[in-house]
Amino acid sequence: MVSMSTYANDFYNQSREVTGTQLTVIREFRDFSASDLEMVAQLLQMQHFLAGEEIVRYLDHSDNVFFVLEGGVRIHYFGYSGDEVILCDLSQGEFFGELTAIDGQPRSATVVARSDSLLAVMSNQAFIRLVHESPVFCMAIMQRLAGQVRRLTERVFDFSTLAVRNRIHAELLRLARQHMDSPNTAIIKPAPTHAELACFVSTHREAVTRELSELARNRLIQRTGHELRVLDVERLRKMVDLARGPVGD
């Protein structure tokens, strides 16, 4: 069993609003026992954020870790020219803020609520102690960070080598893999706007509109209301792999 009760009082403004049951949506806590989840819940404070509300700001010195219990958030920043760069969207079951909690550096991006969201907030001291006390949680964090490095490596490669249309395909594939509804189809909901996709792949909205229209004509995607359906994920994967070519380790 994880020994965590000894530092529950270290968390500022301790709150018991968060329950262990609520934490089961967080994938890094899914291997915790019910009793350990209840102890972790003592380290958390519930906070509500409205859609569009800023949670943390780029380069600020806050150091809490946020777990998304309901809703979703967007991690982004703006360049000197005012252009938005979207790093990623996080939904229920994910968390953010661990980099600053680990290395003590300022925030690496701004985070805003994409929809009305319910977050559980943990102090950086409690987070670090949890990493030290729980081998299960420590391994989950290491796997998460390894996954981030792999995704960022892939994204740098795509930005450095792929044409705009291929970057759009790669981003659609990434989104599709997060929203699979069968072995070979996906329903991305809510569908990103053309402007949002443009921010993800560093291009302009018109280029996204042209390419999505072409993919729709080829019956690879279908837009229905607030949903974007990917009708053949395997075909899309092959298109992306062909554009990337052979990549060595």
Say if residues 157 and 241 touch (Cβ distance below 8 Å): no
Q: pLDDT at residue 22 above 50?
A: yes
Q: Is the pLDDT of residue 113 over 60?
A: yes
What local confidence, expressed as pLDDT, does residue 247 receive? 60
Structure confidence at residue 9 (pLDDT): 43
What pLDDT band is residue 15 in, cutting at 50, 70 and 90?
very low
Which distant-in-sequence residues (6+ apart) come within 8 Å of 201 by Cβ? 159, 164, 167, 168, 170, 171, 208
- Taking only the tens place, the pLDDT of each residue in 194-235 is 999 999 998 999 999 999 999 999 999 999 889 999 999 999
Q: With a cut of 60, say whether residue 6 has pLDDT above it.
A: no
Q: What is the pLDDT of residue 188?
A: 95
**Mean of pLDDT values over 151-157:** 91
pLDDT digits (tens, 9 = 90+) for 70-100: 999 999 988 787 888 889 999 999 999 999 9
- Mean pLDDT over residues 124-138, rounded? 96
Topology annotation, domain 162-244? Arc Repressor Mutant, subunit A (1.10.10)
CA 156 to chain centre: 17
Is 20-149 assigned to CATH 2.60.120.10? Answer: yes
Q: Where are the domains of the chain?
A: 20-149, 162-244
What is the DSSP code string of 171-223?
Answer: HHHHHHHHSEEETTEEEESSPPPHHHHHHHHTS-HHHHHHHHHHHHHTTSEEE
- Does pLDDT of 62 surpass 70? yes
Per-position DSSP letters for 92-147, written without gaps between them:
TT-EE-HHHHHH-PPPSSEEEESSSEEEEEE-HHHHHHHHHH-HHHHHHHHHHHHH
Confidence at 7, pLDDT banded by 50, 70, 90: very low
Q: Which of 13-17, 38-42, 130-134 has the lowest mean pLDDT?
A: 13-17
